[in-house]
A and B are shown apart, each in its own frame.
Chain A
Amino acid sequence: MRRFEPQIQGWLLLLPAAVLLVAFTHYPAVATVWHSFFSTARGGRAAQFIGLDNYRDMMDDPVFWQALRNNAVFALGTIPVSIALALLMALWVNGRILGRGMLRLAFFTPTVLPMIAVANIWLFFYTPGYGLIDQLGSLFGLPEHNWLGNRDTVLGCLIVVTVWKEAGFFMIFYLAALQQISPVLGEAAAVEGAGRWYFFRRVTFPLLMPTTLFVLVNAVINSFRLVDHVVAMTKGGPDNASALLLYYIYDVGFRFWDTGYAAALTVVLLVILAVLALGQFLILERRVHYQ
C-alpha cells in the first residue's frame, strides 16, 4: 500500500491539468475526426454514417482547393518576411541607438492592437481613391487602385497586414534572445577580425536558432490560424481569392451549418499542422543549439 502512495499523489497532482487538456484539446480533436464520417443533421433528419463521403466531396470542391492554395501562398508570403523583418528590427533596436525605447515601442505596437482593429486601420489604407496608399500614390501621379477588390492584389494585401502585425511580436522574442548573447562574444570575434556580417552568420544567427525555431512554429501555426483580418477586410472575396482554409471552415460550419463537412475540413487542417510541426521539429531540431 505504502509503495503506491507517491504514485497516487503524483497522479492526483496531474489530474486537474490532464482533465482540462483532455476536455478541451483531445476530446474535441477526436470528436472532430468522428464527426467527419457523418452527414450533417438537419431539422428532422439525423446524422448518418457516410464513411469517407465528406472527404470525397472535398476532393471535388474547388473552393477547398482554392483555399488550400491561398493558404500556401499566404504562409510562404508571411512566414519568411515576418521572421526576417523581426530579426532585422531586433538587431536594430538591440544596438546602441538614439531613441531605441521609442523604436521598440513603435515596432511592438501593432502586436498589442487586436487584429480587428489592425484590419480596420488597413481597410482605410487600402480604400480606393482616398485611402492612404492611393493618396500617397496620387502625389506621384499614380492612378487609384482597388487593392482589395482585385483578385491579383487581395491576398498580397492580407499578407502585408499580417506581416505588419506579426513582425513586431516575433521581434520581442529575438530581442530577448539577443540580450542573452554575451557582448564578449562580439569582442572575441572582433579581435579575430570577423566582420559584422560574418559574426551574424557564424555566431548570432546560430545562437538564435532556438528562437527561430520557436518563432517559425508560431508563424506557421498563425498562418493557418489567423482569419480575423479576412473576416474584417474581404470575407474571402473576391470570388474566394482571399479565402484561407480556416475561414472556409468557418463558412461551411457556421454559415452553411454543414458541420459534418466542416469537421472533415478541420481534420485536414489538423493533419497539415501536425505534419508541419513534426517536420519542423524533426528536421530543424538537429540543427538547433540549445544553451
Chain B
Amino acid sequence: MSAVAVEEVTKQWGETRAVDGVSFTAAAGSLVVLLGPSGCGKSTTLRLIAGLEAASAGRIRIAGRDVTHLPPARRGIAMVFQSYALFPHLTVAENILFGLRVRKVPAAERRRRLAKVAGLLGLERLLERKPAQLSGGQQQRVALGRAIIAEAPVCLMDEPLSNLDAQLRHEMRREIRALQQKLGMTMLYVTHDQSEAMSMADQVILLRGGRIEQDAAPAALYDRPATAFAARFIGTPPMNILRSADAGVLLGIRPEDIVLAERGDVAARIGAIEYLGADSTVTCMLGGETVLARVQGRVGLPAGAAVRLSWPRERVHLFDAATGRRLDDTMSPPPAAAQELGERVAAAAGG
C-alpha cells in the first residue's frame, strides 16, 4: 500500500488547468520530489494533497484512505511552507506546540515531544525566542519542528529551502534527508531546483504545464529522460538538442558526454570558453548550430580554434520532433540517425 496515491487529479480555475489529470503514488518512507519550472503545477499538486485546495476532479488517498474531501487537519499530514508560516507573536516553543495544543495533547506529552524535537533540530536554546529574533536557517528548523512534532505519517514541503542562501541550503538538504530517513516519514517535497531533487529524492516527479513529464528515480531521469523537456531540465549545462535532416527526429547529447579531441567524428570551431574551476563549459559552433561541451579542467585553446568533437554512440538520445517523446528503446541510434551524423561531419569539414 502506498503512503500517498494521487489518481487522475485535476485542478481547474475557469479555463486554466493548473493540474491536469495527474496520477502518481509515493511509497511509504520515501522522499518524493515534485520538480518543475514555475507555473508547472507542482505547488498546486502539493496543496491539493494537503487539502488547502479542493480538487476539481480525481481522487487522493493517504495511507489507503480517500481524503479527497477531508479538511487538511484530518488527512494525517504535516506541512512546511515556503515562507515558514511561523506565528510571529508566539515563541519558538509555542510555535512548535501549536498543533498539539489544538489537539489538546496532555502537557506532559507535549513537553516530552518538544524536548525530543528540539534536540533533533538543535533548537534547545532558542525555545523562548520569537521568530523575528531568529536567522533564516533557525526559522526553517522551527518550521520543520512544527511539522515533525505532529508525528504525521506524511510530511509535505513546499520549496522549504528557497529562502536560504546557497551554503545553508546545502546543509539543510542533507539534514532534511537524514531526518526523513531517521523518522521514516513519507515526504513530498516541492522544488524547482533540480540539484535538490537529484540529491535528495527516492523518486522524482517532473511536471510541466500541469502534467507529469516523467515519474522516475533520479538516475533513470538522468540516464533515460522520457522527453526532450526532461532531458534539458535535468543536468547542467542542459543537454544539447540538435535538429536533424530527418525532420521527425531530435538528437540529444549531454555536454559532459562530448569529448574535445585531435581526431573525432565532427569538426567544429570554439565560440567561447567558460572556466568553472573543476571543469569548463565550451561553446562550439557546429555548422549553424551551437553545441555545449563540458570538459575537465582548463581548455588550452583560444576562441575561434578548430576542434573535433566526439561522443560515445550509446550516449546519444533520440526524441520525436513532434511529441518530444523518447524514440529509442535500445541504446544505439537507428540507421538514419547514424547517417545523419556522418553528413554533419562532412559539412563541417567542408566549411
Q: A-side interface residues toward B, CB under 8 Å?
A: 182, 184-185, 187-194, 198, 202-203, 206-207, 209, 289, 291
B85 in complex: contacting residue of A187, A194, A206, A209, CB < 8 Å: A187
- Tell me, in angstroms, the Cα distance from A65 to B77 when the chains sit together: 62
Known: A192-B103, A193-B99, A202-B87. 15 other contacts (CB 8 A): A182-B85, A184-B83, A185-B87, A187-B81, A188-B79, A190-B51, A191-B52, A191-B99, A192-B150, A193-B72, A193-B73, A193-B74, A194-B98, A198-B102, A289-B89
19 CB contacts below 8 A, A to B, read A184-B81, A185-B87, A188-B146, A190-B72, A191-B50, A191-B77, A192-B146, A192-B150, A193-B99, A193-B102, A193-B103, A194-B98, A194-B99, A198-B102, A202-B87, A202-B98, A206-B89, A207-B88, A289-B130
- Tell me, in angstroms, the Cα distance from A193 to B73 when the chains sit together: 4
- Tell me, in angstroms, the Cα distance from A207 to B90 when the chains sit together: 10
In angstroms, how far is the closest chain B Cβ from the Cβ of A210?
Answer: 10
Known: A289-B88, A289-B89, A291-B132. A191 touches B83 (CB 8 A): no
A184 touches B103 (CB 8 A): no
Inter-chain contacts of A188 with B (CB < 8 A): 79, 81, 85, 87, 146
B103-120 Cβ-contact flags toward A at 8 Å (1 or 0): 100000000000000000
Residue of A nearest to B100 (CB): A192
Residue of B nearest to A205 (CB): B89
* Any A CB within 8 A of the CB of B78: yes
B89 touches A182 (CB 8 A): no
B102 touches A194 (CB 8 A): yes
In angstroms, how far is the closest chain B Cβ from the Cβ of A248?
Answer: 42
* Any A CB within 8 A of the CB of B184: no
Inter-chain contacts of A185 with B (CB < 8 A): 85, 87
Inter-chain contacts of B98 with A (CB < 8 A): 189, 192, 194, 202
* Any A CB within 8 A of the CB of B71: yes
B46-84 Cβ-contact flags toward A at 8 Å (1 or 0): 000011100000000000000000011110011101010
- Tell me, in angstroms, the Cα distance from A182 to B82 when the chains sit together: 12
Q: B-side interface residues toward A, CB under 8 Å?
A: 50-52, 71-74, 77-79, 81, 83, 85, 87-89, 98-99, 102-103, 130, 132, 146, 150
- Tell me, in angstroms, the Cα distance from A191 to B73 when the chains sit together: 5
- Tell me, in angstroms, the Cα distance from A207 to B132 when the chains sit together: 14
- Tell me, in angstroms, the Cα distance from A185 to B73 when the chains sit together: 14
Known: A182-B83, A198-B102, A291-B132. A191 touches B89 (CB 8 A): no
In angstroms, how far is the closest chain B Cβ from the Cβ of A212?
Answer: 13
Of the listed residues A187, A194, A202, A207, the one surrounded by the most CB atoms of chain B closer than 10 A to its CB is A187
Residue of B nearest to A187 (CB): B52
- Tell me, in angstroms, the Cα distance from A207 to B131 when the chains sit together: 14
Inter-chain contacts of B130 with A (CB < 8 A): 289
Inter-chain contacts of B83 with A (CB < 8 A): 182, 184
In angstroms, how far is the closest chain A Cβ from the Cβ of B163?
Answer: 13
Inter-chain contacts of A203 with B (CB < 8 A): 87, 89
A192 touches B81 (CB 8 A): no
Inter-chain contacts of B73 with A (CB < 8 A): 190-194
Of the listed residues A189, A191, A203, the one surrounded by the most CB atoms of chain B closer than 10 A to its CB is A191
In angstroms, how far is the closest chain B Cβ from the Cβ of A203?
Answer: 6
Inter-chain contacts of B81 with A (CB < 8 A): 184, 187-188
In angstroms, how far is the closest chain B Cβ from the Cβ of A180?
Answer: 11
In angstroms, how far is the closest chain A Cβ from the Cβ of B155?
Answer: 11
In angstroms, how far is the closest chain A Cβ from the Cβ of B69?
Answer: 15
In angstroms, how far is the closest chain B Cβ from the Cβ of A199?
Answer: 9
Inter-chain contacts of A192 with B (CB < 8 A): 73, 98-99, 102-103, 146, 150
- Tell me, in angstroms, the Cα distance from A194 to B103 when the chains sit together: 8
In angstroms, how far is the closest chain A Cβ from the Cβ of B73?
Answer: 3
- Tell me, in angstroms, the Cα distance from A207 to B79 when the chains sit together: 22
- Tell me, in angstroms, the Cα distance from A185 to B78 when the chains sit together: 14
In angstroms, how far is the closest chain A Cβ from the Cβ of B317?
Answer: 41
Top 7 nearest A-B pairs (CB, nearest first) are A193-B73, A192-B99, A289-B89, A188-B85, A184-B85, A191-B72, A206-B89
Inter-chain contacts of A194 with B (CB < 8 A): 73, 98-99, 102
- Tell me, in angstroms, the Cα distance from A188 to B99 when the chains sit together: 9
In angstroms, how far is the closest chain A Cβ from the Cβ of B59?
Answer: 20
- Tell me, in angstroms, the Cα distance from A182 to B84 when the chains sit together: 11
Inter-chain contacts of B71 with A (CB < 8 A): 190
Inter-chain contacts of B150 with A (CB < 8 A): 192
Residue of A nearest to B88 (CB): A291
In angstroms, how far is the closest chain B Cβ from the Cβ of A290?
Answer: 9
Inter-chain contacts of A184 with B (CB < 8 A): 81, 83, 85
Inter-chain contacts of A198 with B (CB < 8 A): 102
Inter-chain contacts of B89 with A (CB < 8 A): 203, 206-207, 209, 289
Inter-chain contacts of B78 with A (CB < 8 A): 191
A191 in complex: contacting residue of B79, B88, B132, CB < 8 Å: B79
In angstroms, how far is the closest chain B Cβ from the Cβ of A35?
Answer: 46
In angstroms, how far is the closest chain B Cβ from the Cβ of A111?
Answer: 29
- Tell me, in angstroms, the Cα distance from A291 to B133 when the chains sit together: 11
Inter-chain contacts of A207 with B (CB < 8 A): 88-89
Inter-chain contacts of B51 with A (CB < 8 A): 190-191
In angstroms, how far is the closest chain A Cβ from the Cβ of B33?
Answer: 20
Residue of A nearest to B74 (CB): A193
- Tell me, in angstroms, the Cα distance from A284 to B173 when the chains sit together: 43
Residue of B nearest to A193 (CB): B73
In angstroms, how far is the closest chain A Cβ from the Cβ of B153?
Answer: 14
Of the listed residues B74, B81, B130, the one surrounded by the most CB atoms of chain A closer than 10 A to its CB is B81
Residue of B nearest to A207 (CB): B89
- Tell me, in angstroms, the Cα distance from A289 to B90 when the chains sit together: 9
- Tell me, in angstroms, the Cα distance from A277 to B320 when the chains sit together: 76
